[in-house]
Structure 1
Amino acid sequence: MTTPESRPPADGPARPEPVVRTAAGSVRGRYEGELAVFRGIPFAEPPVGEARFAAPRPVRGWDGVREAYAFGPPPPQDAGLQGPAALLNLPTGDDWLTVNVWTPEPGPGSGRPVMVWIYGGAYKIGHSGSPGYDARRIARDGDVVVVTLNYRVGMEGFAHIEGAPANRGLLDQVAALEWVRDNIAAFGGDPGQVTVFGESAGAGSIAALLAMPRAAGLFRRAIAQSVPGTYFSDALARDIGAALAAEAGLRPTVADLSAVDPRKLTAAGEALGAKMPGFVDRWGQAAPTVTPYAPVVDGEVLPSMPWQALAAGSARDVELVTGHNRDEFRLFVALAGRLGQITEEQANRALRLYAPGPDGAGAYRAAFPDASPGELYERVQTDWLFSMPTLHLAEAHLAGGGRAHLYELTWPAPGLDGALGACHGLDVPLLFGTFEADLGALLFAGAAPGADAEALSSRFRAAWTAFARTGDPGWPAYDTEQRLVQVLDAEPQVVPYPEDVSRRLWEGHDFAPLPLL
């Protein structure tokens, strides 16, 4: 039920504010331009006290009308790229598990498609209140309802802790999707037309959701942008969990860790992340990622790797768009200050660690005979971490009876005089149109976007929202004969998969959980 109430804004005439009744109670949002916006609506109880490290619990109801004007506080997390100062001015409190809604027309009966955004951040940072995830342009341009959500990251969401369920962050996402199923009609959305979309760890989460029985039926379509192939085996997660707890001088148990303030535990993750490159002999390919968190193939919450689950038909009724950026790993090289500085030995180490097959390093050198050390270093890590997991996800879905559309972003970011190329994360400011916020400020160098950027940004939103509405993003579905892919650039075109050299190198590769060596 929606009831307009007159509450005058401080700087303008009275205008009705939208009030929507959810299953737990009524919430009041605000009109912002053509949209009604609701922020900080709880979808689960705060995961603190007795609920610490537990699966999310249903939110208790409230009386009266709850103001939904401000984003909820972010979950405890590492400082991230922008440093500790970026977290100083954010809301504080324990109500981390909240959703936000942008809707053109609140109230039952509208039945618009619903798009649910799941943020990335290496499973250790991120929150839905980030300015880069302001969804107004998606909701307005596509005439859709957009929901963004918080989920637990880092120690709270993904560390292996004895006595706690695995993948608590994924369980939070399931709980948020259940909230959408039960409540979104009152905001003008169609619960039968839900599309999940996300990037990086958000895309890895979506790949996991496609494989999770608990998520079955909660969404009809999925868009996975730059899917990381990093999932931990139970043994690896257990060992890293013990190391995380040891950084805090504790055992990896609920009893020990629940007595520590959640915000203090983030320091343990940051400390271990800095040490991880020295653990290659123990943690293998996971070590150089400096990310001690990932979804765990625990056999229960996540029964198997997404690639195996999709090939077995786990989500054959879910329509999929997935894709990657051409120069994914260059962002990480740039952030480390190593552009143009990669040595032959560094390239050799990366090839030995990541290239597939018994002589993967030799195969890469033969396949890219003119590549410099820096190009080989980037290529093999782009392929291992994002490009090939993304491609194989589409192919697995196809093998399981599903339909997938594939894309590659090749338009170069203007930041650093174009040296970043089409790097990791570039698709996010293009999709949201948030060129001056968060990562967009780096990738666009603080400059106003040019005509090419604005046109490509509009094209992203048009394709994503068309897919949410119809299942067709505007280019042919992928198959293993023609392998047609939408290339997103200043002049978009549909061509056979551009990274076919890498595709052949990784053909037949089994994406297995990362092991404990």
Structure 2
Amino acid sequence: MTTTESRTAPDTDGPDGPVVRTASGAVRGLREQGLSVFRGIPFAAPPVGPDRFQAPRPPRPWDGVREAYAFGPPPPQEAGLLSRAKLPAAPGDEWLTVNVWTPDPDPSAARPVMVWLYGGAFKVGHGGQPGYDAQHLAREGDAVLVSFNYRLGMEGFAHWTGAPANRGLLDQVAALEWVQENITAFGGDPAQVTVFGESAGAGCIASLLAMPRARGLFRRAIAQSVPGTFFSADLARDIATALAAEAGSPPAAADLAALDPRRLTEAGTALGTKMLRHTGRWGQVAPTAVPFAPVVDGEILPTTPWAALASGAARDVDLLVGHNRDEFRLFMVMGGLSDKITDETAAGTLRLYAPGGQAGEAAYRAAFPEADAEGLFERVQTDWLFGQPSLRLAEAQRTGGGRAHVYELTWPAPSTIGRLGACHGLDIPLLFGTFGADLGGLLFPDGKPTPEAERLSSFIQSAWTAYARTGDPGWPVYDTEERLVQVLDAEPVVAPYPQEESRRIWEGYDFAPLPLLR
């Protein structure tokens, strides 16, 4: 609920921008291109010292007016796909901060609220990345946009002894509680909150849909490219033991808390290069080089999102979910794998990831007779990692009595760095209109959109913001008879789900927590 304090009218604009009173203290933002923007507002106390590796605690109140001009410091993290070694040099340890873009901080405005959760393999990313500049969406949808930081990697997702699992998810719950308590003062309606996110961010949203602690904190959810990689508690503990060994420590929070965060991120990077050695124990996760994921611990995350939604856990939440046609091509191009996949490699990959092992390999070869080794290698990993988990989440929501809308992005990136097609992450610059930032700079030559890209971007922005306002993105609800989805291409059309061959192969597959192999 929103406090009486946060419902009070904003103070008169100061010399540098509008002032809004939150439950923890007053903040001053900036007026930028017709919006009021507030950056770096703490939603929780710094998770350091005795609070390190623990659930987030309430933010420390402050006196006077705090300047909310700059993004808070990113949480400790690895360099990542886009070489984020040079992160913004914000001082301090206030990793858990929130940012707000609003047309007008008028408590009576009651605008829809959209809360962004960034992706990055659960180990990189922050709310202040240029690619997530929310100004276009805030203006397009006349909405209040929110982004925030949550703990990553060793700090947020490694399963330590003496620490709660899924601390990154608990940070997200704390941020959404902050939204409920404070967003009215920024002109938002706490009863009209939509969470949206991509990749790991979509995996977090799927988790929030399944978490009892998150119920009632949002009304709608948009999940873009949901990963199917959720860890069992046994697998997560085994990986955590290996992570701690890389850092020269037992896998216990009390021991690890004394180590510099940089030492832990270095340990995460080091283990990522060695994960293939653990295929016999870690199975499908070993080739991913990603040792982090939400943990189905039976408490914070009681079960997988697919099982939770099928049982009706989120039937009162509207869901929009989808994926890109060629998700895995990004990782192939960035990893230098294009034109290097042999039939032997493709066969091994099909047996590892397709349902049923050898039977799955045969099913893929029969369903895609014209595909070469590289095409099969890419197709099965696109399906296993993002495509079919996303579709099955919509089907689980329908089974549980809820509503879901589905999309597939098929428009190919105009990039000149390789055959990327409609690859992973292409939806981000299209959604935010940030064609020259982060991944957009790789997908769009010189960071400039083509006319087709501009039209498609406008379509996506309108659909997403309309959904946040009304629950209707402009196309039919998904069902298991017609299976109609919005195909996002140069000319967007509503059509039956395009990847019917893949859907049939994966029909009935249980996206269970990834196990520890004995």
**Shared fold per TM-score greater than 0.5:** yes
- The answer to whether the Cα contact below 8 Å between 1:74 and 1:92 also exists between their aligned partners in 2 is no
Match of 2:255 in 1: 256
User: Is the aligned partner of 1:130 residue 2:120?
Assistant: no
TM-fit CA distance, 1:302: 0.0
Match of 2:14 in 1: 6
Match of 2:400 in 1: 400
- CA deviation digits over 1:111-170, x for unaligned, max 9? 000000000000000000100000000001110000001000000000011000000000
Aligned to 2:300, the other structure's residue is in SS state coil
- CA deviation digits over 1:288-320, x for unaligned, max 9? 110000000000000000000000000000000
Residues in 1 aligned to 2:496 and 2:391: alpha-carbon distance in whole angstroms: 13
Aligned to 2:445, the other structure's residue is in SS state coil
Summarize the Cα distance change of 1:418–1:489 in structure 2 as closer, same or farther, 3 Å threshold.
farther
Residues in 2 aligned to 1:418 and 1:340: alpha-carbon distance in whole angstroms: 11
TM-fit CA distance, 1:86: 2.8
Residues in 1 aligned to 2:446 and 2:118: alpha-carbon distance in whole angstroms: 22
What amino acid sits opposite 1:421 in the alignment? G
Match of 2:221 in 1: 222
Residues in 2 aligned to 1:366 and 1:68: alpha-carbon distance in whole angstroms: 57
Residues in 1 aligned to 2:290 and 2:413: alpha-carbon distance in whole angstroms: 25
TM-fit CA distance, 1:405: 0.3
Structure 1 residues 130-209: aligned runs within 5 Å: 130-209=129-208
- The answer to whether the Cα contact below 8 Å between 1:20 and 1:107 also exists between their aligned partners in 2 is no
TM-fit CA distance, 1:278: 2.0
Summarize the Cα distance change of 1:444–1:78 in structure 2 as closer, same or farther, 3 Å threshold.
same
Match of 1:333 in 2: 332
Aligned to 1:467, the other structure's residue is in SS state helix
Structure 1 residues 33-72: aligned runs within 5 Å: 33-72=33-72
Structure 1 residues 421-432: aligned runs within 5 Å: 421-432=421-432
Match of 2:268 in 1: 269
TM-fit CA distance, 1:265: 0.8
- CA deviation digits over 1:245-293, x for unaligned, max 9? 0001110001110000112210000000011122111100010110000
Aligned to 1:324, the other structure's residue is in SS state strand
What amino acid sits opposite 1:77 in the alignment? Q
Match of 2:27 in 1: 27
Aligned to 1:194, the other structure's residue is in SS state strand
User: Is the aligned partner of 1:496 residue 2:488?
Assistant: no
Match of 1:349 in 2: 348
- In the alignment, structure 2 segments of 5+ residues that lack a partner are 1-8
Deviates more, 1:202-211 or 1:256-265: 256-265
TM-fit CA distance, 1:3: 1.3
TM-fit CA distance, 1:341: 1.8
TM-fit CA distance, 1:60: 1.6
- CA deviation digits over 1:436-493, x for unaligned, max 9? 0001111113241111111111111100000000000000000000000000011010
Residues in 2 aligned to 1:102 and 1:139: alpha-carbon distance in whole angstroms: 7
- The answer to whether the Cα contact below 8 Å between 2:157 and 2:168 also exists between their aligned partners in 1 is yes
- The answer to whether the Cα contact below 8 Å between 1:412 and 1:418 also exists between their aligned partners in 2 is no
- The answer to whether the Cα contact below 8 Å between 1:245 and 1:251 also exists between their aligned partners in 2 is yes
Residues in 1 aligned to 2:450 and 2:392: alpha-carbon distance in whole angstroms: 34
What amino acid sits opposite 2:325 in the alignment? R
TM-score (norm 2): 0.97
What amino acid sits opposite 1:444 in the alignment? F
Structure 1 residues 327-476: aligned runs within 5 Å: 327-358=326-357, 359-416=359-416, 419-476=419-476
Residues in 1 aligned to 2:207 and 2:27: alpha-carbon distance in whole angstroms: 31
- The answer to whether the Cα contact below 8 Å between 2:309 and 2:315 also exists between their aligned partners in 1 is yes
TM-fit CA distance, 1:172: 0.1
Identity of aligned residues (%): 70
Residues in 1 aligned to 2:446 and 2:453: alpha-carbon distance in whole angstroms: 13
- The answer to whether the Cα contact below 8 Å between 2:219 and 2:317 also exists between their aligned partners in 1 is yes
Match of 2:5 in 1: none
TM-score (norm 1): 0.97
TM-fit CA distance, 1:81: 1.9
- The answer to whether the Cα contact below 8 Å between 2:194 and 2:219 also exists between their aligned partners in 1 is yes
Residues in 2 aligned to 1:452 and 1:90: alpha-carbon distance in whole angstroms: 36
What amino acid sits opposite 1:276 in the alignment? M
TM-fit CA distance, 1:6: 3.5
Aligned to 2:416, the other structure's residue is in SS state helix
- The answer to whether the Cα contact below 8 Å between 2:78 and 2:85 also exists between their aligned partners in 1 is no
User: Is the aligned partner of 1:509 residue 2:517?
Assistant: no
Residues in 1 aligned to 2:60 and 2:417: alpha-carbon distance in whole angstroms: 52
Match of 2:86 in 1: 86
- CA deviation digits over 1:36-60, x for unaligned, max 9? 0000000000000010000000012
Residues in 2 aligned to 1:200 and 1:226: alpha-carbon distance in whole angstroms: 5
What amino acid sits opposite 1:341 in the alignment? K
- The answer to whether the Cα contact below 8 Å between 2:44 and 2:57 also exists between their aligned partners in 1 is yes
Match of 2:478 in 1: 478
What amino acid sits opposite 1:170 in the alignment? L
User: Is the aligned partner of 1:213 residue 2:212?
Assistant: yes
TM-fit CA distance, 1:4: 2.4
What amino acid sits opposite 2:90 in the alignment? P
TM-fit CA distance, 1:342: 1.1
TM-fit CA distance, 1:418: 6.5
Residues in 2 aligned to 1:438 and 1:90: alpha-carbon distance in whole angstroms: 17
Residues in 1 aligned to 2:310 and 2:63: alpha-carbon distance in whole angstroms: 47
Residues in 2 aligned to 1:485 and 1:83: alpha-carbon distance in whole angstroms: 35
What amino acid sits opposite 1:52 in the alignment? R
Residues in 2 aligned to 1:84 and 1:435: alpha-carbon distance in whole angstroms: 18
TM-fit CA distance, 1:85: 4.0
TM-fit CA distance, 1:417: 6.3
Match of 1:13 in 2: none
What amino acid sits opposite 1:62 in the alignment? W
TM-fit CA distance, 1:82: 2.8
Summarize the Cα distance change of 1:404–1:325 in structure 2 as closer, same or farther, 3 Å threshold.
same
Aligned to 1:405, the other structure's residue is in SS state strand
- CA deviation digits over 1:92-113, x for unaligned, max 9? 3210000000000102100000
- The answer to whether the Cα contact below 8 Å between 1:3 and 1:18 also exists between their aligned partners in 2 is yes
- In the alignment, structure 1 segments of 5+ residues that lack a partner are 9-16
What is the total number of aligned residue pairs between the two structures? Answer: 508
User: Is the aligned partner of 1:301 residue 2:309?
Assistant: no
- The answer to whether the Cα contact below 8 Å between 2:10 and 2:20 also exists between their aligned partners in 1 is yes
Residues in 1 aligned to 2:176 and 2:486: alpha-carbon distance in whole angstroms: 29
Aligned to 2:387, the other structure's residue is in SS state helix
TM-fit CA distance, 1:90: 3.0
Match of 1:232 in 2: 231
- The answer to whether the Cα contact below 8 Å between 2:229 and 2:514 also exists between their aligned partners in 1 is yes
